[in-house]
Structure 1
């Protein structure tokens, strides 16, 4: 109980009225801009390397003689296993030591594995390279968040996380739009090799720009075993429900990004280039709007001092589930694409709120661990089971003679969006009670 109260006091120290605790390592002006630009490029690159097999799935499937179930395994389980095994220890390494070293090492690893994926001659070899990509990506985001926590002032951190997270939708846009066009023109192998080469250059940039990262002030936390820290965070009801929200949201997001482009190609007759351009551009625009607005509104919610920092994304997920359902069955392709837009916005809007709330609950010195746990929630069951489940349902429905088998499988997305709304509303109440309890010294909320 004492440990819980200490964690909650640490959490409140991240609020603006305690911003003066930070200062020695803060960066301002152009230095902060250069730091966030670098991290934006890292975030975008990681998403491009993850997305490319999605938009090029039909070409990969044809050349390597795969089925939808194997595509689901290839794009889901590889990442989920690595997130489970490696994200927490890599996050602990970032919290304890040099997050810059962890970040740069991870970038070089996943970039090399992306390039090697272009040389794969079988499902097994391609899956092994995707394991390597997942290894690198498992540590990159926690390490980047640890640097942000040490270098960006607390009252600006929501926007900083939003700018960093903006790389995800823009990387998705580039991955779908450029990946589809280049895949048609050059072939999927050359695209993977080229993306890996670009990644090595951005890794060198990440090595130079952040500079030495100042040590944390909370040395006692750094000595805790990472499993103990993880269990301490998950013992908080607010963090548990946030974790649950990340899990169910991933059951909506993972199948969305894996199978929506193939859905548009099969059901509405788009080419890979057309589907990638339309889907990618809209996803990029919604991603920019979602992450920036999410970061701004999260900072505003923190400044109110109520601790209610998860209600808005919950409502957005609820509203997005309705047009998503309609998008799977309308007969006109461009209408289907437009009906996908609210879901694109909801996934981006959630990012600053989810990570920002996790940092608040975790407290100073646990930011990378909090990020890692949220990543595990969003990167484990959903990506592992969601695309696989959609692929199995699609194959079964198609075998049964149904014309829109993939659309039926994709009904998992609106169902998971509704569950995400419920989980986030519950987390909203729990997090608020936790932070209020820290102010009053009432540990009964914890």
Structure 2
């Protein structure tokens, strides 16, 4: 996520390394590189210029704090400006009304239909809502079927009218259906086009006027950069939408849309899509995103994701096993499954401070655990519960059965042994105190 931008900003800050004081000359040189990095990320020229001007005004004349180097001080100033540029505070979604009606807008290919499903799943899980998805894209081939597939995957009903070609009527009928059947959330997926055209804008404006949604969201493909910002402006001029959704942030995102869109349309980014799975959705926190762009990671989000998969009863059982030295490969496998549920590995590593920089040239696949899983599944139940039984003969059999090499089996055994020792240590006073601190982070936002 924003890897190229992060790398170029890091190089810009290195200019100040070794200087004892921030001066107009070294600030100008550094900010020239910052501006260039923003432009390379497809940020609007005026926005990039104004951004660096504000940082310069704050930086010039400031003495370095006792505990900071000039580069660190400038990083802080840049971070503060990035946070402001992306909206400052986190913006919530309006869930008033019974039912709450949310209208989705955006171009074809932006990920609007998939995100409608993600949002339904998110609000169903996080806010205990009973959502109804509404198929109002009457033009794109298989659009209605796609929404039904999405709805089925998250166990959410989809309202559609195959013969009706009037999206206004479909949306109105869907709301009536929702009221009559106990749905308290209606998410209306509308038609998109490959480019903004008058016919599309007129149609969605009519739907908007007819159903008076409590929330109108504009969905944009973050990989389209400055084009996304221009499209957002066109939609906002007609719909006056409430917020922006950035999809495909797990791809090769340059960052221009995330950094520019708030300044152009003066509407907050409310959600981001971080993968293909239905749970790959996050509320947008400008401060956390600024940290990630500057290579500082996002520990709070990482802890929140971990806690979302945390089962207290299972944790107690695991604790007892560790205390009795009964931690086995089945337990190890269960931990891997929990990590996989947290999201794609590249995104998770990006949340660890410094990890993105350290591993920038390493390609991390989502199936990074497949060899480990294959090795464990090739063990007998007895071997999984009592790893000490696994001798050289058994290792050879496990390697052959899993399609791996004996060296990979040995490596896993070593990693398992190290993990077992570490988890045993966590049972001590220091480890328990650390776990309490991690639990305390749950309330942080």
TM-score normalized with structure 1 length:
0.25
More helix, by proportion: 1
For the pair shown, which has the larger CA radius of gyration, 1 or 2? 2
TM-score norm. by structure 2 comes to: 0.25
Structure number with the bigger relative contact order (C-alpha 8 A, sep ≥ 6) is: 1
Structure with more of its chain in strand, by fraction? 2
